[in-house]
Amino acid sequence: MPERNNIRMKIIIANLLAVIIMFSSTGCSSNDNESSTSPAITPEIGSAEPAEDTQETEPAGQSGFKVSGTQLLDGNGNEFIMRGINHPHSWFTAEDDTALEAIAATGANTVRIVCGSGQQYTKDTVESLNKLTDKCRDLEMVAVLEVHDITGKDDKSLIETAADYWIEVKEALIGKENYVILNIANEWVGSWDGVTWRDGYTSVIPRLRNAGIQNTIMVDSAGWGQYGQSITDYGTDVLASDPDGNTMFSVHMYGTAGKNKATIARNLKLSTDKGLCMVVGEFGWNHTDGDVDEEYILEYCNENGIGWLAWSWKGNGGGVEYLDLANSWDGTSLSDWGETIINSTLGLKNTSEKCSIFA
């Protein structure tokens, strides 16, 4: 009897162990299946050969520049005030790297670049534009791209052609909204004609947006860039034509728009009072149309949080060589104009702050 009872107990224990093993095995199988169907929950750690990331790293912040009332906000939502220089790329392509590196060394946070659409100057391709903007990104400067071909022209068909060009090369803009701003055309409309200016830009801006271009747009005023009243009168119409509401405006200040304190203030304040975002996209210290109060331009912009971009690094000719900021492309020698823009109390070295996307 005791031996038979022992045999019976062994059978019971064996059965119990089989049941335990069965449930334990079923549990492990369930967990393994769940793990194999959720590989994206956590990244792999310790992979022998991780996949190579071949994409270039873009600056932090993904939303791009946005106009907010009178302010320009960067991709991180921080106010960005342009402090920079114009560079004549289209006419001196061989000097691009030297000039851009020298401009960055001045402390400039922005460079406005003269490009060509093929209407008058050599046509920039997607590749040449990418080279410029990649260089600016590497140097931690915001790039403002403009085509110079229709400067001073009043023909509405020409601004349409400029828009056609930007749509053609939009691959050089899309995806770079954090550090590339589109200045559609330099000083289109030479006459003091705000209506033509308004009608042209309200026509092309929606076309650019419909093509997928989301970069902040910059629009120069009429009158070779010096008729600030065109922005005051019709800037709200131009802004309203932008489905993204992401358009800012630029006045160029030489002997007409920048001749004295009252004129400088009027050309900026009347538009900012309407809630428009303004920048002085070009200015000099003197010009063929008269003397410029460059010190007050710096002062007014500093006090009112308005950006400025001085004209220009080097290469001016035809009697206006005095507008060269540098005597050499590498910036080792500056003109008096350059000393004012770079080293004065309100110059680049003292007032320029790097865009936070590069931090």
Active site residue 282: yes
C-alpha count within 13 angstroms, C-beta hemisphere, residue 356: 15
Contact 307, 280 (CB under 8 A): yes
The DSSP call for residue 213 is: -
How far apart (Å, rounded) are the C-alpha atoms in residues 298 and 341? 9
How far apart (Å, rounded) are the C-alpha atoms in residues 306 and 89? 25
N residues, the chain: 359
The DSSP call for residue 90 is: G
How far apart (Å, rounded) are the C-alpha atoms in residues 224 and 253? 10
How far apart (Å, rounded) are the C-alpha atoms in residues 325 and 84? 12
Q: Residue 144: in which H helix or E strand, if any? A: strand 142-147
Q: Which of 146, 177, 187, 294 is catalytic?
A: 187
Active site residue 140: no
Q: Which of 95, 146, 177, 282 is catalytic?
A: 282
Contact 87, 113 (CB under 8 A): yes
Q: Parallel, antiparallel, or unpaired for β 142-147 and 180-183?
A: parallel
Say if residue 236 is exposed, middle or buried (CB neighbours under 10 Å; 0-12, 13-18, 19+).
middle
What's the token pair of residue 35? 């793990």
C-alpha pair distances (Å), 67 with each of 21, 70, 232, 249, 275 = 67, 7, 17, 10, 10
Report the catalytic residues. 187, 282
